[in-house]
Amino acid sequence: MGWRYANGRNYDRGPGQHKAVSVLSPYIRRRLVTEAEVVTAALAAHGPEASEKFVQEVIWRSYFKGWLERRPQVWASYRQGLEADLAALDRDRRLRRDVERAMDGQTGLACMDAWAEELVETGYLHNHARMWFASIWIFTLGLPWRLGADFFYRHLLDGDAASNTLGWRWVAGLHTRGKPYHAQAWNIATFTGQRFTPRETDLVEVTQGLEATEPDGLPSLQPIRSPRAPEPGRPTALLLTDEDCCIEDFDLAGLNIVATATLAASHLRSPLPVAAAVATFEAGALADTAARAGLTPINLRADHPDGLAKWAASVGASQIATPYITKGPLMDWMDEATPYLAAKGIVLAEWRREWDSTIWPHASAGFFKVKQQIPQILARLVAA
């Protein structure tokens, strides 16, 4: 988390060799360990100067979360566009062949094929490799960016709606508009330690991004959603999801908990099959969460949304309490469940962490605005 990270974080050494980065992202994404915990550990071990880059990257994830909360239209646009792209795959045999080759590691470009294989086999890719892969997918191979984002989302153990969607948009020049990320042969050779040495002619020169596909620009900022807080004394069904697996941080003792359930929802990431490893990791995370909190939940799956309402009603609950659900597939599903809950007199109540409430208001434009606030953010959120 210190100088070793700062100096080596851009190097993709390959599967099993990611030694200069923490590889904690699947755990941080589910808050099996929280952002505050890892930042506190980094500062304690290395001090603010040596841990600066690590801390920035942790906060960058929170920035993306807040940015999508404030522009939820971008998530809706992604899901609608993905449906259209998948429909095009059914109609266009050549496009289907090219996408399948890219996902199967059969493009003939050694670096792309190796990254596709690593992603599918391990559920992980180094951040720099994700950027190169996305750039080559979009600009050199000319494939729809949403299909690439979906490929990542279906396989990444740390798959996150905000980081994944906005990361691909950033590469495409849609997030920081007009500034696409250009994968270059020399950069790949340097930061893979010469594992891959593509020729300059293997990659197209990127001169403009995809901003012309969104001529209206970015949608307007929306107010951050205000959750309903759990009410003490009200019969409560406690819902555990992999949005936040540190349930013990919240005041459970003040609630009248009549039942607890885990909710498996990884399959909601895509209309296509999600990697089994993702669902297995989710199940392990939820089981660990329940065990740490001394809970004995039943296991639910996010299928038809009326199932949640039927369960809560069957245990006599009038509210469901859960950590805050951010914009993404689970929140889409919860929106579908809301009318079923309302019909049975059940409300959804959520806890939102101070970490999110502090950072998200700054996530209105580029990361620089958040970066400027990091000293104040740390002073407020991180234990001395």
Has 5 been labeled as part of a binding site?
yes
Has 158 been labeled as part of a binding site?
yes
Has 142 been labeled as part of a binding site?
no
Q: 184 to each of 46, 145, 193, 204, how far by Cα in Å?
A: 33, 18, 14, 9
Has 60 been labeled as part of a binding site?
yes
Terminal CA-to-CA distance of the chain, rounded, Å?
18
Give the amino acid at 220.
S
Has 81 been labeled as part of a binding site?
no
Please give the structure tokens belonging to residue 335: 């929106």
Has 254 been labeled as part of a binding site?
no
Q: CA gyration radius for the chain?
A: 21
**DSSP string over 146-200:** HHHHHHHHHH-TT--HHHHHHHHHHHHTTTTTT------HHHHHHHTTTS----G
Please give the structure tokens belonging to residue 382: 């991180």
- Neighbour count for residue 294 (Cβ, 10 Å): 8
Has 298 been labeled as part of a binding site?
no
Has 61 been labeled as part of a binding site?
yes
**What's the rounded Cα separation, in Å, for the pair 242 and 32?**
9
Please give the structure tokens belonging to residue 164: 């994944």
- Binding residue positions: 5, 54, 57-64, 158-160
- Binding residue positions for FAD: 5, 54, 57-64, 158-160
